[in-house]
Protein backbone atom coordinates (compact mmCIF):
# COMPACT_ATOMS: atom_id res chain seq x y z
CA UNK A 1 0.00 0.00 0.00
CA UNK A 2 1.19 3.50 -0.81
CA UNK A 3 0.11 6.49 1.24
CA UNK A 4 0.57 9.92 -0.30
CA UNK A 5 0.28 12.62 2.37
CA UNK A 6 -0.59 16.01 0.91
CA UNK A 7 -0.81 19.31 2.78
CA UNK A 8 -4.49 19.93 2.05
CA UNK A 9 -7.55 18.92 0.06
CA UNK A 10 -6.58 20.92 -3.05
CA UNK A 11 -3.18 19.27 -3.31
CA UNK A 12 -4.72 15.83 -2.76
CA UNK A 13 -7.21 16.45 -5.53
CA UNK A 14 -4.51 17.68 -7.93
CA UNK A 15 -2.25 14.72 -7.23
CA UNK A 16 -5.05 12.21 -7.71
CA UNK A 17 -6.40 13.81 -10.89
CA UNK A 18 -2.91 13.89 -12.39
CA UNK A 19 -2.33 10.28 -11.44
CA UNK A 20 -5.62 9.20 -13.02
CA UNK A 21 -5.13 11.27 -16.18
CA UNK A 22 -1.59 10.00 -16.70
CA UNK A 23 -2.69 6.39 -16.11
CA UNK A 24 -5.36 6.80 -18.79
CA UNK A 25 -2.85 8.38 -21.17
CA UNK A 26 -0.28 5.64 -20.64
CA UNK A 27 -2.97 2.98 -21.27
CA UNK A 28 -3.70 4.73 -24.59
CA UNK A 29 -7.28 3.37 -24.70
CA UNK A 30 -9.11 2.63 -27.93
CA UNK A 31 -12.74 1.89 -28.72
CA UNK A 32 -11.89 -1.83 -28.80
CA UNK A 33 -9.84 -1.68 -25.62
CA UNK A 34 -11.21 1.10 -23.42
CA UNK A 35 -9.87 2.17 -20.04
CA UNK A 36 -12.31 1.05 -17.33
CA UNK A 37 -12.61 3.21 -14.26
CA UNK A 38 -14.71 2.86 -11.10
CA UNK A 39 -15.98 6.16 -9.67
CA UNK A 40 -17.41 7.46 -6.39
CA UNK A 41 -19.74 10.26 -5.36
CA UNK A 42 -19.54 12.30 -2.14
CA UNK A 43 -17.60 15.38 -1.10
CA UNK A 44 -14.19 13.70 -1.26
CA UNK A 45 -13.95 13.30 -5.08
CA UNK A 46 -15.39 16.74 -6.01
CA UNK A 47 -11.93 18.32 -6.20
CA UNK A 48 -10.61 15.45 -8.34
CA UNK A 49 -13.52 15.83 -10.78
CA UNK A 50 -12.82 19.58 -11.05
CA UNK A 51 -9.15 18.91 -11.78
CA UNK A 52 -9.93 16.18 -14.32
CA UNK A 53 -12.33 18.54 -16.12
CA UNK A 54 -9.55 21.12 -16.19
CA UNK A 55 -7.05 18.60 -17.59
CA UNK A 56 -9.61 17.58 -20.22
CA UNK A 57 -10.27 21.20 -21.23
CA UNK A 58 -6.54 21.86 -21.47
CA UNK A 59 -6.28 18.91 -23.85
CA UNK A 60 -4.19 16.66 -21.59
CA UNK A 61 -6.68 13.82 -21.36
CA UNK A 62 -9.70 12.51 -23.24
CA UNK A 63 -12.47 10.29 -21.89
CA UNK A 64 -13.66 9.23 -25.35
CA UNK A 65 -12.47 5.68 -24.82
CA UNK A 66 -13.10 5.48 -21.10
CA UNK A 67 -15.85 3.31 -19.61
CA UNK A 68 -17.08 4.15 -16.12
CA UNK A 69 -18.79 2.12 -13.40
CA UNK A 70 -20.08 4.03 -10.41
CA UNK A 71 -19.80 2.53 -6.96
CA UNK A 72 -23.30 2.88 -5.68
CA UNK A 73 -26.78 4.38 -5.88
CA UNK A 74 -29.65 4.86 -3.46
CA UNK A 75 -32.65 2.60 -3.89
CA UNK A 76 -35.80 4.50 -4.80
CA UNK A 77 -34.31 7.73 -6.20
CA UNK A 78 -34.69 8.28 -9.93
CA UNK A 79 -32.11 9.95 -12.16
CA UNK A 80 -33.75 13.35 -11.97
CA UNK A 81 -33.66 13.42 -8.18
CA UNK A 82 -30.96 15.89 -7.17
CA UNK A 83 -29.75 13.58 -4.40
CA UNK A 84 -29.36 10.60 -6.71
CA UNK A 85 -25.83 9.60 -7.60
CA UNK A 86 -26.85 9.70 -11.28
CA UNK A 87 -27.62 13.39 -10.92
CA UNK A 88 -24.41 14.00 -8.97
CA UNK A 89 -22.22 12.35 -11.61
CA UNK A 90 -23.71 14.10 -14.61
CA UNK A 91 -23.75 17.49 -12.90
CA UNK A 92 -20.29 17.35 -11.37
CA UNK A 93 -18.37 15.41 -13.98
CA UNK A 94 -19.83 13.71 -17.05
CA UNK A 95 -21.54 16.81 -18.51
CA UNK A 96 -18.17 18.56 -18.65
CA UNK A 97 -16.03 15.95 -20.41
CA UNK A 98 -16.12 14.04 -23.72
CA UNK A 99 -17.42 10.75 -22.28
CA UNK A 100 -19.91 8.81 -24.40
CA UNK A 101 -23.26 8.33 -22.67
CA UNK A 102 -23.25 4.63 -23.54
CA UNK A 103 -19.93 4.22 -21.72
CA UNK A 104 -21.38 5.43 -18.40
CA UNK A 105 -22.65 2.74 -16.04
CA UNK A 106 -24.49 3.59 -12.83
CA UNK A 107 -26.58 1.14 -10.84
CA UNK A 108 -30.31 1.73 -11.25
CA UNK A 109 -31.91 2.05 -7.83
CA UNK A 110 -35.34 2.10 -9.51
CA UNK A 111 -34.94 -1.29 -11.24
CA UNK A 112 -37.91 -3.61 -10.77
CA UNK A 113 -35.57 -6.52 -10.05
CA UNK A 114 -32.77 -5.13 -7.89
CA UNK A 115 -30.94 -8.42 -7.52
CA UNK A 116 -30.81 -8.85 -11.27
CA UNK A 117 -29.60 -5.27 -11.61
CA UNK A 118 -26.70 -6.11 -9.29
CA UNK A 119 -25.71 -9.39 -10.94
CA UNK A 120 -25.91 -7.81 -14.42
CA UNK A 121 -23.61 -5.02 -13.21
CA UNK A 122 -20.99 -7.55 -12.13
CA UNK A 123 -21.32 -9.38 -15.46
CA UNK A 124 -20.89 -6.15 -17.36
CA UNK A 125 -17.74 -5.30 -15.40
CA UNK A 126 -16.38 -8.79 -16.18
CA UNK A 127 -17.24 -8.38 -19.86
CA UNK A 128 -14.69 -5.55 -20.00
CA UNK A 129 -12.06 -7.70 -18.30
CA UNK A 130 -12.50 -5.95 -14.94
CA UNK A 131 -11.81 -2.46 -13.69
CA UNK A 132 -8.44 -0.85 -14.40
CA UNK A 133 -8.59 1.77 -11.67
CA UNK A 134 -11.14 2.17 -8.90
CA UNK A 135 -11.32 5.62 -7.32
CA UNK A 136 -13.14 5.85 -3.99
CA UNK A 137 -13.73 7.70 -0.77
CA UNK A 138 -14.09 6.46 2.78
CA UNK A 139 -16.95 6.83 5.26
CA UNK A 140 -16.32 8.01 8.83
CA UNK A 141 -16.68 4.39 10.00
CA UNK A 142 -14.15 3.20 7.39
CA UNK A 143 -16.63 1.94 4.81
CA UNK A 144 -15.79 1.91 1.11
CA UNK A 145 -18.68 2.42 -1.36
CA UNK A 146 -21.66 1.44 0.83
CA UNK A 147 -19.89 -1.56 2.34
CA UNK A 148 -20.83 -0.79 5.89
CA UNK A 149 -18.98 -2.37 8.86
CA UNK A 150 -19.29 -6.17 8.87
CA UNK A 151 -19.83 -6.39 5.12
CA UNK A 152 -18.16 -9.49 3.79
CA UNK A 153 -14.72 -8.78 2.41
CA UNK A 154 -15.72 -11.16 -0.39
CA UNK A 155 -18.89 -9.24 -1.24
CA UNK A 156 -19.95 -8.38 -4.78
CA UNK A 157 -22.57 -5.89 -6.02
CA UNK A 158 -25.74 -6.17 -3.95
CA UNK A 159 -28.45 -4.39 -1.99
CA UNK A 160 -27.25 -3.02 1.32
CA UNK A 161 -29.07 -1.55 4.31
CA UNK A 162 -27.48 1.69 5.46
CA UNK A 163 -26.48 2.09 9.09
CA UNK A 164 -28.04 4.84 11.16
CA UNK A 165 -24.59 6.46 11.39
CA UNK A 166 -24.29 6.65 7.59
CA UNK A 167 -27.82 8.01 7.31
CA UNK A 168 -27.03 10.69 9.89
CA UNK A 169 -23.85 11.69 8.00
CA UNK A 170 -25.63 11.72 4.63
CA UNK A 171 -28.68 13.58 5.94
CA UNK A 172 -26.74 16.79 5.22
CA UNK A 173 -27.83 16.30 1.59
CA UNK A 174 -31.45 15.64 2.60
CA UNK A 175 -32.35 18.87 4.44
CA UNK A 176 -30.70 17.41 7.56
CA UNK A 177 -33.65 15.07 7.91
CA UNK A 178 -32.55 11.47 8.49
CA UNK A 179 -36.05 10.27 7.59
CA UNK A 180 -35.53 11.54 4.05
CA UNK A 181 -32.36 9.47 3.54
CA UNK A 182 -33.11 6.19 1.74
CA UNK A 183 -32.56 3.16 3.97
CA UNK A 184 -31.09 0.96 1.27
CA UNK A 185 -28.65 1.33 -1.58
CA UNK A 186 -27.15 -0.75 -4.34
CA UNK A 187 -23.40 -0.96 -3.99
CA UNK A 188 -20.44 -2.70 -5.51
CA UNK A 189 -18.91 -5.13 -3.03
CA UNK A 190 -15.57 -5.03 -1.28
CA UNK A 191 -14.36 -7.71 -3.66
CA UNK A 192 -15.58 -5.73 -6.68
CA UNK A 193 -13.28 -2.92 -5.55
CA UNK A 194 -10.31 -5.05 -4.54
CA UNK A 195 -10.52 -6.94 -7.85
CA UNK A 196 -9.60 -3.75 -9.71
CA UNK A 197 -6.03 -3.60 -11.01
CA UNK A 198 -5.41 -0.43 -9.04
CA UNK A 199 -7.37 1.26 -6.24
CA UNK A 200 -7.00 4.94 -5.33
CA UNK A 201 -8.80 6.16 -2.21
CA UNK A 202 -9.23 9.75 -1.08
CA UNK A 203 -9.31 10.50 2.64
CA UNK A 204 -9.50 14.03 3.97
CA UNK A 205 -10.44 15.84 7.14
CA UNK A 206 -10.25 15.24 10.91
CA UNK A 207 -13.51 13.29 10.90
CA UNK A 208 -11.88 10.51 8.85
CA UNK A 209 -8.70 10.28 10.99
CA UNK A 210 -9.88 7.41 13.17
CA UNK A 211 -11.19 5.31 10.25
CA UNK A 212 -7.99 5.94 8.32
CA UNK A 213 -5.68 4.89 11.18
CA UNK A 214 -7.84 1.85 11.82
CA UNK A 215 -7.87 0.85 8.17
CA UNK A 216 -4.12 1.05 7.60
CA UNK A 217 -2.64 0.21 11.02
CA UNK A 218 -5.29 -2.13 12.39
CA UNK A 219 -5.70 -5.72 11.32
CA UNK A 220 -7.70 -6.69 8.26
CA UNK A 221 -11.27 -6.80 9.49
CA UNK A 222 -14.78 -6.61 8.13
CA UNK A 223 -15.46 -4.06 10.89
CA UNK A 224 -13.53 -1.54 8.74
CA UNK A 225 -13.90 -2.46 5.07
CA UNK A 226 -11.14 -0.02 4.09
CA UNK A 227 -8.70 -2.47 5.72
CA UNK A 228 -9.33 -4.97 2.87
CA UNK A 229 -6.95 -2.85 0.79
CA UNK A 230 -4.06 -4.14 2.86
CA UNK A 231 -4.26 -7.29 0.71
CA UNK A 232 -4.28 -5.38 -2.57
CA UNK A 233 -1.11 -5.37 -4.64
CA UNK A 234 -1.61 -1.83 -5.98
CA UNK A 235 -3.51 0.46 -3.68
CA UNK A 236 -2.82 4.13 -3.05
CA UNK A 237 -4.44 6.22 -0.35
CA UNK A 238 -4.19 9.94 -0.97
CA UNK A 239 -4.71 11.80 2.26
CA UNK A 240 -4.45 15.28 3.75
CA UNK A 241 -2.58 16.22 6.94
CA UNK A 242 -5.82 16.52 8.91
CA UNK A 243 -6.80 12.91 8.26
CA UNK A 244 -3.38 11.73 9.53
CA UNK A 245 -4.15 12.96 13.06
CA UNK A 246 -4.50 9.52 14.57
CA UNK A 247 -1.69 7.68 12.79
CA UNK A 248 1.24 6.54 14.89
CA UNK A 249 4.09 9.04 14.57
CA UNK A 250 6.28 6.29 13.09
CA UNK A 251 3.71 5.42 10.41
CA UNK A 252 3.33 9.10 9.49
CA UNK A 253 7.11 9.59 9.30
CA UNK A 254 7.58 6.41 7.27
CA UNK A 255 5.23 7.49 4.49
CA UNK A 256 6.38 11.12 4.56
CA UNK A 257 9.93 9.87 4.05
CA UNK A 258 9.38 7.12 1.52
CA UNK A 259 7.12 9.24 -0.71
CA UNK A 260 8.98 12.54 -0.27
CA UNK A 261 9.96 12.71 -3.96
CA UNK A 262 6.50 11.73 -5.18
CA UNK A 263 4.15 14.21 -3.60
CA UNK A 264 4.14 16.71 -6.47
CA UNK A 265 1.57 15.96 -9.19
CA UNK A 266 3.05 13.77 -11.93
CA UNK A 267 5.03 16.10 -14.16
CA UNK A 268 4.84 14.31 -17.50
CA UNK A 269 1.41 15.80 -18.17
- Which residue, among 54, 64, 73, 40, has the nearest Cα to 10 in the 3D structure? 54
- The smaller minimum CB distance to ligand GLP, of residues 35 and 134, is found at 134
Q: What is the DSSP string of 250-269?
A: HHHHHHHHHTTTS-SPPTT-
Give min distance, CB of 75 to ligand GLP, in A.
Answer: 13
CB 45 to ligand GLP: min, Å? 7
Which residues form the interface with ligand GLP (CB under 6 A)?
40, 42-44, 71-72, 136-139, 145-146, 166
Give the nearer residue to ligand GLP in terms of CB position, either 34 or 201: 201
Strand arrangement, sheet containing 235-240: 2-6, 235-240, 198-203, 133-136, 35-39, 66-70, 104-105
Residue 29 or 42 having the CB closest to ligand GLP: 42
* CA atoms within 13 A of residue 100's CA, in its CB half-sphere: 11
Smaller CB separation from ligand GLP, 65 or 146: 146
Backbone torsions φ then ψ of 198, nearest 5 degrees: -145, 140
Q: How far is the CB of 187 from ligand GLP (least distance, A)?
A: 7
Shortest separation between residue 207's beta carbon and ligand GLP, angstroms: 8
Answer whether 135's CB lies under 8 Å from 41's CB: no
Of 29 and 72, which has the nearer Cβ to ligand GLP? 72
Task: Classify burial at 120, counting beta carbons within 10 Å of its beta carbon; exposed 0-12, middle 13-18, buried 19 or more.
Answer: middle
Least distance from C-beta 30 to ligand GLP, angstroms? 30
**Cross-strand partners of 6:** 240
**Helix H or strand E segment including 27:** helix 9-27
What is the per-residue burial (b if ≥16 Cβ within 10 Å, else e) of 168-177? Answer: ebbeeeeeee
Nearest to 160 by CA among 72, 257, 248, 59: 72
Q: Report, as residue numbers or ranges, the catalytic residues.
A: 72, 141, 143, 148
Amino acid sequence: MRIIIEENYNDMSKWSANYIASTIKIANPTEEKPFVIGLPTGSSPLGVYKELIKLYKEGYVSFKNVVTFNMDEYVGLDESNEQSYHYFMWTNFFNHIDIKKENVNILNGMASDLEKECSSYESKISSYGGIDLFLGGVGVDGHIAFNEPFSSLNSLTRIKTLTTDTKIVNSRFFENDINKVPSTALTVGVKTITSAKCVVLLVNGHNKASAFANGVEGGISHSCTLSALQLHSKSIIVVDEAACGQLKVDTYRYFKDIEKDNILPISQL
